[in-house]
């Protein structure tokens, strides 16, 4: 993304405004992704903050053009989450899923808004019922809009493995949603 490279260049030149724009752009999505791994929103927020701190402290590590900034950031976050899970060696009891609040537009009736919200809730419940790897690949590719090759890098998989995983995840989600309807 050209905008990311521009903001990162501004940041490298010593202006923290570029870094702030990157944080604002990616903070919520990274927290949501990490929460799918950790299953605890507070810890996911802490890990996301740690990922941004690492980018800030080691700003020379990111090489524009080698990968997108988003892929680089999500990879750092993914590694921090995996390290946390390994170190904690315990079951996470909290099952929290985050929903994005949507503002009701002026031309939308309350009934339409309610139906959309119920549909989103059903989708998130079905997504939460999938295997962890399925959730992760769908969050990255469908909700975060990452390209498959970038999602593969974040998850530490080959592009072929990520493609198969995404196909199976979509199929499992579809079956889960169909079973709820029928």
**Final residue in a domain of this structure, among 98, 122, 149:** 98
Q: What is the model's pLDDT at position 10?
A: 92
Whether 38 and 90 share a structural domain = yes
Q: What is the mean pLDDT of the chain?
A: 82
Question: Any idea what DSSP says for residue 65?
Answer: T
Q: What is the model's pLDDT at position 94?
A: 32
What share of the chain has pLDDT > 90, as a percent?
49
pLDDT digits (tens, 9 = 90+) for 105-145: 445 556 665 666 666 677 777 888 889 899 889 888 888 88
Q: Kindly state the average pLDDT of the residues 149-158.
A: 91
Q: Alpha helix (H) ranges present in the chain? A: 2-12, 16-38, 41-57, 69-88, 110-128, 132-138, 148-155, 159-181
pLDDT at 41 > cutoff 70: yes
**Final residue in a domain of this structure, among 98, 130, 164:** 98
C-alpha span between 65 and 163 (Å, rounded): 23
pLDDT digits (tens, 9 = 90+) for 65-110: 888 999 999 999 999 998 888 787 544 333 333 333 334 444 555 6
CATH label of the domain that carries residue 26: 1.10.1740.10
Residue 113 forms part of a structural domain: yes
Residue 103 forms part of a structural domain: no
Whether 85 and 129 share a structural domain = no
Q: What is the model's pLDDT at position 19?
A: 94
**Final residue in a domain of this structure, among 98, 130, 151:** 98
Tally the domains of the chain. Answer: 2
Beta bridge partners of 64: 67
Q: What is the model's pLDDT at position 49?
A: 96
pLDDT at 54 > cutoff 90: yes
Owning domain of residue 81: 1-98
Residue 10 forms part of a structural domain: yes
């Amino acid at each position: 993304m050209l905008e990311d490279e521009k903001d990162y260049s501004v940041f490298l030149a010593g202006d923290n405004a570029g870094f702030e724009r990157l944080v604002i752009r990616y903070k919520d999505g990274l927290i949501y992704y990490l929460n799918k791994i950790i299953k605890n929103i507070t810890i996911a927020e802490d890990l996301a903050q740690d990922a941004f701190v690492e980018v800030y402290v080691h700003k020379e590590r990111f090489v524009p053009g080698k990968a997108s900034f988003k892929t680089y950031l999500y990879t750092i976050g993914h590694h921090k989450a995996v390290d946390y899970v390994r170190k904690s060696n315990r079951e996470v009891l909290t099952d929290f899923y985050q929903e994005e609040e949507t503002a009701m537009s002026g031309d939308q009736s309350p009934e339409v808004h309610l139906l959309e919200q119920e549909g989103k809730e059903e989708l998130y419940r079905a997504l939460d019922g999938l295997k962890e790897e399925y959730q992760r690949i769908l969050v990255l590719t469908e909700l975060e809009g990452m390209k498959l090759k970038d999602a593969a890098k974040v998850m530490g998989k080959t592009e072929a493995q990520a493609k198969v995983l995404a196909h199976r995840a979509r199929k499992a989600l579809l079956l889960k949603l169909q079973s709820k309807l029928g």
